[in-house]
Amino acid sequence: MSGRFSEEAMTRAMREIAGGLEVPTEDARLLRLTNNAVFALPESGLVIRIARTHRLRDRVTKVVQLARSFAELDAPTIRLAPGVAQPVVVGDLVASVWVYVPPTGPTPTMNDLGSALRRFHALGPPSFPLATWDPIGDARRRLADADGLSADDHDYLAAWCDRLELQVADLNQRGEQSLVHGDAHVGNLLRDASRGILLCDFDATCLGPWQVDLAAVAVGEVRFGKTGAHRALAEAYGYDVTSDRDWPLLREARELKMIAAATPLLASSTRVSAEFARRLRSIRYDNPTKVWKPFADLT
């Protein structure tokens, strides 16, 4: 399918960015095509990450600021490519450029994630203003950038946002605030050549209740049928988020994110559009154990 954020459009943007950096693209390969189009250029030691939405352009600026702050702290995170003015703008798209980390075994585990999150939560807030956890605002910006969303589905998602908004505000006010990664799962861990674990993908990083970072795996276990992952993370981190008084809200907020994130991409992929419809039906008709397919496996 064609669309503003199709693979073809992202590939053209990647090549234009690489041309500006004067690096070849013959070895370029697409690593991910979900909320971002992520391309590896191993020969040049770079990764180009292009945001697949116009409404969340400010996120790329935030991610660049965070990456610089983490580098100053020598935090266990990936690094921006040196010598590149960032963010990179190409047409009406915004991108960031990173140091390529070659795949190194063994594959990161839930134990690695638990340890990485404990270190991450202990970093404290950065020196620049960072937004508070706002899954509702993020979902609304996705809806504003929707491409191929029906009016009925738009209205349902907008009403869902309205219903959760005050609950999220209340949790932010009374909950313990810390640095929150915002999309914590093993897919956002890399192992470097020294066998150390690095966190990546700071699009959703914010200040908020640290329990948010444990909810992603717990919800993923239910929705993607990955048994054992939640227990392993709970043991590694030392806390079972499903026992938290706010677990029902944390789960709903995560599921809203997992559905609304696809709305700018519906016109770009029939498979993503079909999975989006399946997910939304399971919410609308109260099927809390309906197993979903990861969008990343469909693109």
Contact between residue 199 and residue 189 where contact means Cβ atoms under 8 Å apart? yes
- Do 136 and 262 lie in one domain? The reply is yes
Confidence of residue 1 (pLDDT cuts 50, 70, 90): low
Which residues sit opposite 178 in a β-bridge? 208
User: Does 266 reside within a domain?
Assistant: yes
pLDDT tens profile 223-248? 998 889 999 999 999 999 999 999 99
62's enclosing H/E stretch is: helix 57-73
Q: How far is CA 274 from the centre of its chain?
A: 21
- Token look-up 């392993």 returns 232
Dist. CA 48–CA 2, nearest whole Å: 21
The β-bridge partners of 191 are 197
Q: Are residues 203 and 90 both part of a single domain?
A: no
Q: pLDDT tens across 107-149, in order?
A: 999 999 999 999 999 998 998 999 999 999 999 999 999 999 9
Residue 35 has pLDDT above 70, yes or no: yes
Q: Are residues 44 and 172 in the same domain?
A: no
Residue 203: CATH number of its domain: 3.90.1200.10
Across 205-221, average pLDDT: 97
Q: Which of 227, 228, 199 minimizes the C-alpha distance to 213? A: 199
253 and 118, same domain (yes or no): yes
What are the beta bridge partners of residue 209? 177
Residue reference for tokens 């990450």:
49
- What percentage of the chain carries pLDDT values higher than 70? 99
d(CA 87, CA 77) in angstroms, rounded, equals 18
Q: Do 61 and 132 belong to one domain?
A: no
Which whole-number Å values give the CA distances from 49 to 56, 182, 272, in the listed order?
14, 18, 20
| pLDDT, position 211 | 97
For residue 104, is it within any domain? no
Dig out the tokens for 142 from the structure: 């996705």
Domain stop point among 99, 126, 158: 99
Segment 155-202, tens digit of pLDDT = 999 999 999 999 999 999 998 889 999 999 999 999 998 889 999 999
Cα–chain-centroid distance for residue 197? 18
Residue that the structure tokens 């945001």 belong to: 51
The Cα 10–Cα 52 span in angstroms is: 8
Closest CA to 290 of 258, 246, 268: 258
Domain with 198, as residue range(s), is 110-294
Q: Which pLDDT score is estimated for 17?
A: 98
